[in-house]
Amino acid sequence: MSKYKLFLLRHGEGAWNKENRFCSWVDQKLSEDGVKEAQDCGRLLKEQGYKFDLVFTSILSRSIQTAWLVLEAMGQEWVPVVKSWRLNERHYGSLIGLNRAEMAQQHGEEKVKLWRRSYDITPPLIDESHPYFLEIYNDRRYTTCDVPIKDLPRAESLKEVLDRLLPYWNSTVVPEIRNGRTVLISAHGNSCRALLKYLEGISDEDIASVTLPTGIPVLLELDENLKPVKPRQLLGDQAKIQAAIKK
């Protein structure tokens, strides 16, 4: 029996999604299309009668902006939004800012695919010579984290994303769900994939083929042990969703 509903949402398209660049911890706002995706998502959720009690986001603007736009479209602007770096996108290290096609030309398609899609391989670390290093680590938002800036990631595999996300899930999100609150997690492709892997027990190999399109809400129906009782549902026009996954 389904006891709880949990919604996951990869933020709407950002400017660097459109340019096929590794955005990661660089703070980007939504593109025009991304704004529309978030608004459309909110309208869909409202039409289907869903109501949220609490929203969790990362501390990156595109995640927060998506949550705001969804809640506005639902007429639920008053719903509390809680932010944590532990829901941030995966840290892509020295790959941040690079175009994926250019990367494939430089390093080979297989190497880039390994960095992007493998579960436990960490890309090369970012260092102080990187053009976005100071923009990230001098950003005041990272002084609010529950670890010192010097201990924040310099690159992550998907496994390492899950390792830093799980303590927050267990300590902060799970108690809210168990209290009967309907929760939306408005986060990123990889933080959502990492959580899906954990909740659905997806293998290290199979997680590579799990793709979440931007702006498409994912509904998980969970039992009393927070285990899924049925396959995840991507809500909306299924033909459009499949086209977005292929893209």
Beta strands 81-83 and 54-57 are parallel
| Residue 85 token pair | 């770096």
Q: For residues 235, 240, 244 and 247, what is the CA-based torsion angle, rounded to 10 degrees?
A: 160
11 assigned to active site? yes
Where do we find the tokens 């709407």? Answer: 12
188 assigned to active site? no
Element holding 43 (H helix, E strand):
helix 32-47
- Is 13 annotated in some ligand binding site? yes
- Is 178 annotated in some ligand binding site? no
- Is 239 annotated in some ligand binding site? no
- Is 21 annotated in some ligand binding site? no
- Is 189 annotated in some ligand binding site? yes
- Is 180 annotated in some ligand binding site? no
- Is 90 annotated in some ligand binding site? yes
Give the C-alpha separation, 231 to 220, whole Å. 8
Catalytic residue from among 37, 89, 130, 156:
89
- Is 170 annotated in some ligand binding site? no
Hey, which bits of the chain come out as E strands?
4-10, 54-57, 81-83, 183-187, 217-222, 233-234
Question: In 10 A of CB 187, how many CB atoms?
Answer: 30
Supply the residues annotated as catalytic. 11, 89
Binding residues for substrate: 10-17, 62, 89-92, 116-117, 189-190
List binding-site positions.
10-17, 62, 89-92, 116-117, 189-190
